[in-house]
Amino acid sequence: MIQLSRNIIILSLGICLANKANALSLGNQNINTLNSARKLYAKNKIEESIKEYNKVPKISEFWIEATEEKAWAYVRLGKYDQALSQLKSIINPVFIPFVGPEAIMLATFIDLKTCNYKGVFDKIKLYKNEMLPRVEALESIIKDPKSDFVLSWSKKIKDSELLASDLGKDITKLPRYYYRDKKVDLNSKRVVELAKKDLEDISKNLKKMKIIEIEVIQRSYAYDNSLTKNKLAFNDTKAKDQMTFPHEKDSKEVWLDEIGNY
């Protein structure tokens, strides 16, 4: 079992495929699979949509996206453990640069539903640590959309098809799906449009996480009050008042052959 660092895996994403042409070809196939899964989800055929999402392989450019959406499907079915296991496959030091804000918010919501209050606060901290640098980068793009950095990537994206791995560490300094965009222009209007959209998405999910945080604080306050007013009767402790910590490990190490198998 070989442990790989985040930087090595970022540079290596997609190399499991024979070559870049194969990766792009597989990506086109997976777009169709994702669209099929989304249509089934929209028709409330949740279990069928999950089967479609499962067809997107781990080596695909779209696996992280499919995993995020599959987690939502499990939430719709009320299967929080399975939803959380999907999210844990991607919310880790290896893949977090490629993960959107909604995935972290959803994992936080599941922690709330399962009374994993420690997990809630851990993920709020993670959200801020990961998303605030992205906010700064996106605001920088909006302020100066014709910087050498932006124009350089815009030209590369316009001139050729790229994979996420082609962006390396710059993946978090550009709008999330800019490298896939078919409307890239060199006058920078498109990158500003996408940067604003990403900022709105980050802000929207941050507001939801603040609501979750307030809910946890209120529950904790109510629980403390109940302990103050009543004698501790451990035999009568209700399940809804118990805090559990599913799927949480102290270790932050990520092993390649564990990914996607929680």
Q: Where are the alpha helices (DSSP H) in the chain?
A: 6-12, 20-42, 46-53, 63-76, 80-90, 101-113, 117-143, 148-159, 164-167, 189-229
Q: How many CA atoms lie within 13 A of 37 on its CB side?
A: 26
Q: Is 201 exposed, middle or buried (0-12, 13-18, 19+ CB in 10 A)?
A: middle
Among residues 47, 37, 153, 168, the alpha carbon closest in space to that of 97 is found at 168
For residue 22, what pLDDT is reported? Answer: 60
- Residue spans of the domains in the chain: they are 6-258
Asked if residues 91 and 247 have their Cβ atoms less than 8 Å apart, the reply is no
Local structure of 3: helix, strand or coil = strand
- Catalogue the long-range contacts made by 156-163 (C-beta closer than 8 Å, 24 or more residues apart): 157/181, 157/184, 158/184, 158/185, 158/186, 161/24, 163/13, 163/14, 163/20, 163/23, 163/24, 163/27, 163/61
For residue 24, what pLDDT is reported? Answer: 61
Extract the tokens encoding 78: 């009320």
Evaluate if pTM is beyond 0.95.
no
DSSP for residue 43: T
For residue 61, what pLDDT is reported? Answer: 86
For residue 3, what pLDDT is reported? Answer: 46
The rounded Cα 103 to chain-centroid distance in angstroms is: 4
> CA triplet 72, 260, 43: central angle to 5 degrees?
25
Q: Go through the chain and tell me how many residues it has.
A: 262
Residues 6 or more apart whose CB falls under 8 angstroms from that of 240 comprise 115
% of the chain at pLDDT higher than 70: 74
CA distance 246 to 225: 26
Query: Each residue's pLDDT tens digit in the chain (262 positions)?
Result: 444 455 544 444 444 434 555 656 666 788 999 999 999 999 999 999 999 999 999 888 899 999 999 999 999 999 999 999 999 999 999 899 999 999 999 999 999 999 999 999 999 999 999 999 999 999 999 999 999 999 999 999 988 888 888 899 999 999 999 998 878 777 788 999 999 999 999 999 999 999 999 999 998 777 666 655 665 444 544 444 444 434 444 445 444 444 454 4
For residue 162, what pLDDT is reported? Answer: 86
| Residue-averaged pLDDT of the chain | 82
Tens digit of each residue's pLDDT (9 = 90 or more) over 112-162: 999 999 999 999 999 999 999 999 999 999 999 999 999 999 999 988 888
